[in-house]
Structure 1
């Protein structure tokens, strides 16, 4: 009896997930919880780890866990996500090996000026070496960011 194999494409709608979003790459050797604490202190945010959003990927036959911190600004209809890009030598986005964290701002409240203000504020944290805007379209593994 012949065996029929069906292959299903992932049901990820990349375009809609990244619609009205800005992605900031951050280089810093800080621990994720410490970076969130600093951002919360400077910007009066409330980033907290959301265990339900933690990203689990299988890389080189081992499970890799990438924590995601979340902060929702309900009055601005905006949600902030802070991804850790490293886990025991593996990367959430391998094309950004030198980027330690990814800060995604989802919502249309923040324009270029407000994003620049946020970046300037976090650049004042001594342990932040670099914060720069990334173009999502240039990322090969952007699907790894979809929650």
Structure 2
């Protein structure tokens, strides 16, 4: 008997009870994180242990992920760099520079709207849009 790993089911589990934002900004990732930390009171830091490594066309691409875990809560925020050297982590969102994933705890609409509004008002940010799991075709690229 052969056991098959259901990758789609694993990907769906990873995204269960998450909120996702797509962000377009004319900022380097460290500049963007600095502004988030200053304006939201967060502490995003680069987490090299969960960096996404993709191989396409015989080349390697590395997508940084910044992480912040809220105090006294399981809620963890992940900020993915969507572009590296002309390749995209999520090619279906080429216009997005960052993908923000909120995971491990429920984020209500009020909190999500506060985050969206605060991020919209940051210097260099052009667009903040909530994304749904269904819109993401390459979910597996985000799973660490």
When residues 56 and 25 of structure 1 are mapped into structure 2, their CA distance, relative to the original with a 3 A threshold, is same
2:89 equivalent to 1:92: yes
Greater radius of gyration (CA): 1
TM-score by length of 2: 0.92
Q: Provide the TM-score with structure 1 as the length reference.
A: 0.90
* 1: CA distance, partners of 2:78 / 2:31: 15
Note the alpha carbon deviations across 1:81-133, whole angstroms, 9 max, x for none: 00000001000001111110000011334201110001101111120000010
Find 1:113's aligned residue among 110, 113, 134.
110
Stretch of structure 1 that moved more, 90-99 or 71-80: 71-80
- Matched pairs, number: 141
User: Could you tell me whether the CA contact under 8 Å between 2:18 and 2:106 is conserved in 1?
Assistant: no
Taking the TM superposition and a 5 Å limit, the aligned residue runs for 1:61-140 are 61-140=58-137
Q: How far apart in 2 are the matches of 1:54 and 1:10?
A: 23
Aligned mates of 2:75, 2:135 — CA distance in 1: 23
Following superposition, the deviation at residue 17 of structure 1 comes to: 0.7
Structure 2: which 5+ runs fail to align? none
Alignment of 1:26-65 (within 5 A): 26-65=23-62
Alignment of 1:5-20 (within 5 A): 9=5, 13-20=10-17
Cα distance between partner residues in 1 of 2:39 and 2:49: 26
- Regions of 4+ moved over 4 Å: 8-12
The RMSD of aligned alpha carbons is: 1.6
Equivalent of 1:25, from 19, 22, 27?
22
- Where do 5+ consecutive residues of structure 1 fail to align? 1-5
SS at match of 1:113: helix
